[in-house]
């Protein structure tokens, strides 16, 4: 019995710790929003993801990113694939999102140069990214990704759809769900986006 518990624990997805305190992104993203976002919303995706994965012990040892990029070929019920897409996406999207924010800049020079080459300048990229975020309807995410050819692409996805579904690697993202900003910004989505640039560390 204890061995079974031990094995299933090994493959259990757990909520990653934030790499900073809940109040670290103040005043741009408030402590209460960060706390609820991480301990309630992200935790819920993790819990529901584990419920799906528990049904398929054979595929649990792959990373969630790999599962998403091979979703169509997985030996799973179609209903469970949708759950994996939603909750697996919710987990990997948030896990990545936390790592590109912080109190102090940690600029990724290589990424910055690629952005300059692709979009002309960092400022032009920021404008396009903001525009894409503003014109996204409903819940979702805005992304800068590296596609399979190694080129940068900018787009938004609905719900918790992850770029890994397309085999793309996330480089920068912003959570456009209301839970990410509503406590502080209410309906002022543009203000949230503009403030957020202050806590993005990688460019
Ligand atoms: Mn969220």
The domain that holds 119 is classified in CATH as 3.55.40.20
Of the candidates 72, 97, 84, 101, the residue with the CA atom closest to the CA atom of residue 161 = 84
Q: Report how far ligand 1's centroid is from the alpha carbon of 178 (Å).
A: 8
Q: Report how far ligand 1's centroid is from the alpha carbon of 44 (Å).
A: 11
Does 142 fall in a domain? yes
Q: Report how far ligand 1's centroid is from the alpha carbon of 2 (Å).
A: 35
Does 191 fall in a domain? yes
What confidence score (pLDDT) does residue 167 get? Answer: 97
What confidence score (pLDDT) does residue 59 get? Answer: 82
> Mean pLDDT throughout 70-86?
96
The DSSP letter of residue 17 is P
Does 83 fall in a domain? no
- pLDDT surpassing 70 at residue 82: yes
Does 51 fall in a domain? no
Q: Report how far ligand 1's centroid is from the alpha carbon of 78 (Å).
A: 24
Does 168 fall in a domain? yes
Does 7 fall in a domain? no
> Mean pLDDT throughout 61-86?
94
Q: Report how far ligand 1's centroid is from the alpha carbon of 115 (Å).
A: 25
- pLDDT surpassing 60 at residue 5: no
Strand, helix or coil at 84? helix
Does 132 fall in a domain? yes
Question: pLDDT tens digits, residue range 7-49?
Answer: 444 468 999 999 999 999 999 999 999 999 999 999 999 999 9
Q: How far apart are the first and last CA of the chain?
A: 50
Q: Report how far ligand 1's centroid is from the alpha carbon of 5 (Å).
A: 30
The total of structural domains in the chain comes to 1
Strand, helix or coil at 98? helix
Does 114 fall in a domain? yes
Q: Report how far ligand 1's centroid is from the alpha carbon of 188 (Å).
A: 17
Tell me which of 61 and 158 has the higher pLDDT.
Answer: 158
**pLDDT-based confidence at 127, cuts 50/70/90?**
very high
Query: H or E element: which one contains 89?
Result: helix 89-99
Task: Check if the beta carbon of residue 68 is closer than 8 Å to that of residue 165.
Answer: yes
- Name the residue with tokens 């396009």: 128
Domain hosting 126: range is: 109-196
C-alpha–C-alpha distance, residues 50 and 57, integer Å: 11
- Name the residue with tokens 């800049």: 105
Mean pLDDT computed over every residue of the chain: 94
Q: Report how far ligand 1's centroid is from the alpha carbon of 37 (Å).
A: 6
pTM over 0.95: no
Q: Report how far ligand 1's centroid is from the alpha carbon of 200 (Å).
A: 16
């Amino acid at each position: 019995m204890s061995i079974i518990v031990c094995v299933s624990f090994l493959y259990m997805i757990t909520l990653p710790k934030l790499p900073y305190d809940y109040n670290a992104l103040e005043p741009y993203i408030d402590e209460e929003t960060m706390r609820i976002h991480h301990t309630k919303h992200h935790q819920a995706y993790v819990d529901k993801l584990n419920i799906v994965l528990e049904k398929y012990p054979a595929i649990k040892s792959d990373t969630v990113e790999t599962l998403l990029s091979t979703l169509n070929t997985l030996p799973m019920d179609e209903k469970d694939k949708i759950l994996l897409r939603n909750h697996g996406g919710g987990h990997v999207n948030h896990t990545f999102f936390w790592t590109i924010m912080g109190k102090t800049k940690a600029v990724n020079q290589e990424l910055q140069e690629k952005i300059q080459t692709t979009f002309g300048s960092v400022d032009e990229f920021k404008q396009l990214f903001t525009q894409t975020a503003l014109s996204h309807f409903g819940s979702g995410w805005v992304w800068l990704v590296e596609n399979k050819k190694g080129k940068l692409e900018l787009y938004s996805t609905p719900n918790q759809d992850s770029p890994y579904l397309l085999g793309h690697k996330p480089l920068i993202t912003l959570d456009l769900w209301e839970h990410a900003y509503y406590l502080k910004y209410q309906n002022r989505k543009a203000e949230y986006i503009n403030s957020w640039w202050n806590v993005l560390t990688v460019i």
